Structure formats: C-alpha cells, structure tokens
Structure 1
Amino acid sequence: MEAKSGQDEYSQVKQDLQQLRDDLAKLTRAVTEEQKGNISSLRDEIRRESQAAFDQVRQKGNEAVDRAKNAGDKAIHDVERKIEERPLLSVIIMFLIGVLVGKLLDR
C-alpha cells in the first residue's frame, strides 16, 4: 500500500510540475504580448512626436526663408528707388565701381 501511495504522490508531483510549466508558459506569453503592445504604443508615440518636431522645424525654416526674401525684396526696392532719385549719380558710382573691379582683376 505504501508503494501505491508513493506512486500516487509521484504522479501528483509530476502533474503539479506539468501544471507549473503550463502556467509559466502562459505567463510568459502574456508578458510578451503586453510588452509588444507597450513597444508598439511607444513607437507610435515617438513617431507622432518626431513628426510634430519636424513640422515645427519646417514651419520655422519657411518663416526664416520668407523673412530673408522680404528683406531682399526690400533692399532691391530701396536700391531701385535710390537709382530713380539720382540717376546720374548712380551711373557715375557704377562706372567707378567697374573701374575699381577692373583694376583689381588686372593685378
């Protein structure tokens, strides 16, 4: 009878170990799936934040280009206005600049 009891206990321990293995496998799968979900949501969050940062940088870059273009247009307009105000002086200044550049290039 004692042999039968030992055999039953051995079978019970064997079943308990198998149940523990199954539970551990289920737990591992559950943790893995949860971590995959966390990684996926983290990846999506990083993607959204990087896109927002990129859009902000692009907007600031466009604003800087617009300011530079406006400043260039204003400078051209100012030069045109000065030339219209004093055409003879402008021609003389351009002639002198041309002579100066010519002398520098001869060297």
Structure 2
Amino acid sequence: MEAKSSQDEYNQVKKDLQQLREDLATLTKAVSDGQKSNISSLRDEIRRESQEAFDQVRQKGNDAFNRARDAGDKAVHDVEHKIEERPFLSIVLMFLAGVLVGKLLDR
C-alpha cells in the first residue's frame, strides 16, 4: 500500500512539473508578445515624432527661404526704383564703381 502511495505521489509530482512547464511556457510567450507589442508601439511613436520634427524643420526652412526671397525681391525693386529716379547719377556711380574695382584688381 505504501508503494502505491509513493507511486501516486510520484505521478502527481510529475503531473505538477508538466503543468509548471506549460504555465512557464505560456508566461514566457505572453511576456514575449507583450514586449513585441511595446517595441512596436515605441517604434511607431519614434517614427511619428521624427516625422513631426522633420515637418517642422522643413516648414521653418521654407519660411526662411520665402523671407529671404521676399527681401531679395524688395532689394531689387528698390534698386530699380532708384535707377529710374536718377538714371544719370546711377550710370556715373556704376562707372566709378567699375573704375575702383578695376584699380583694385590691377594690384
């Protein structure tokens, strides 16, 4: 009778160990899946934030380019207006500037 009781206990321990292995495998799979989900959501968040930062930088670059282009257009318009106001003085100044640059380049 004692041998049968020991055999029953051995079989019960064997079943418990098998159940423990299965539970451990299930737990490991659940943790792994959870980590994969966390990594995936973190990757998506990083991708979204980097896209937002890129869009902001691009918008600031476009704004700076537009301001520079507008300032250049205004400067050209102002010069054209000054030349139209005083054409003879503009020709004389350009001639003197050319002579000055020529003298500087001769040296």
Interval containing the TM-score (normalised by the shorter chain): over 0.9
1:41 pairs with 2:41: yes
Gaps of 5+ in 2: none
- Give the CA deviation at 1:43: 1.1
> Which 4+ stretches in 1 moved above 4 angstroms?
none
Distance 2:76 2:64 in 1: 18
Q: Which amino acid aligns with 1:76?
A: V
Report the counterpart of residue 12 of structure 1 in structure 2.
12
1:82 pairs with 2:82: yes
Q: State the aligned residue count.
A: 107
- Give the CA deviation at 1:21: 0.7
Distance 2:106 2:59 in 1: 47
Q: Kindly, what percent of the aligned residue pairs are identical?
A: 79
- Give the CA deviation at 1:40: 0.9
Normalised TM-score (structure 1): 0.95
Distance 1:16 1:92 in 2: 106
Report the counterpart of residue 61 of structure 2 in structure 1.
61
Report the counterpart of residue 93 of structure 1 in structure 2.
93
Gaps of 5+ in 1: none
Distance 1:71 1:97 in 2: 24
Report the counterpart of residue 27 of structure 1 in structure 2.
27
Deviates most, 43-52 or 63-72 = 43-52
The two structures, once aligned, show a CA RMSD in angstroms of 0.9
Q: Which amino acid aligns with 2:26?
A: K
